[in-house]
Chains A and B, each alone.
Chain A
Amino acid sequence: RKEVEQDPGPFNVPEGATVAFNCTYSNSASQSFFWYRQDCRKEPKLLMSVYSSGNEDGRFTAQLNRASQYISLLIRDSKLSDSATYLCAVNSYNNAGNMLTFGGGTRLMVKP
């Protein structure tokens, strides 16, 4: 099992739709969780951190379920500009130090 897994998609949704992605992680000792956004041929950029109590930033809501070891990202009222790949990232600490492990990304395509 991969350390961090995501459904690669693509998720094709119409503008205005609500869409949700999940990301599962295998290391129960993981401490920090993030969602990054990567546009085609660009670098990943932090979208939001994921806090234990869940957090919201405008149309975006991130949640953490420690018991089932997954994080989720909900996008409400999808815009064309939301089309991108969404990467989850999970931090864990091992002998090598702090490591941020990324999922393979979920591709979102918002259609007019």
Chain B
Amino acid sequence: DTAVSQTPKYLVTQMGNDKSIKCEQNLGHDTMYWYKQDSKKFLKIMFSYNNKELIINETVPNRFSPKSPDKAHLNLHINSLELGDSAVYFCASSLQGQGNEKLFFGSGTQLSVL
């Protein structure tokens, strides 16, 4: 009964490949997010979706394409992977996307690009 679940937990791949990370939340939240945490531990927002609509896109290369088939799912597809994409990617959700809400994070996907 994990609240925010993302798969896979680990992803090791070669440069130039295309890969996807899936995320699902069973909390009934309207807003979902993707965050990237680099090797220096900075956690930066990449995208947010509210009820399947893109709300925030924080200057992320267009090789990253989020897809939200419904408000409980937000997947992240990455084309032409680069070494600098290596990081931990966290999916998160919040009730309505209001600023004073608690974020619930998934357990993260550690992406290693070789």
Contact = CB atoms under 8 A, between A and B. Distances in A.
A43 B90 CA distance: 7
Contact of A98 (B43, B90, B99): B99
A100 B101 CA distance: 10
B1 to A, nearest CB: 16
- The size bracket of the interface on A is 20 to 34
- The size bracket of the interface on B is 20 to 34
A1 interface: no
B99 A44 contact: no
A102 B44 contact: yes
The prevalent SS among residues of B at the interface is loop
Contacts of A36: 103
A8 B41 CA distance: 10
A91 interface: yes
Contact of B97 (A32, A44, A97, A104): A97
A44 B56 CA distance: 20
Interface stretch (B65-73, B78-86, B104-112): B104-112
B105 A99 contact: no
A43 B106 contact: yes
CB-CB nearest 4 A-B residue pairs? A91-B99, A43-B105, A102-B43, A98-B99
Interface of B: 40-45, 48, 55-58, 90, 97-100, 102-103, 105-108
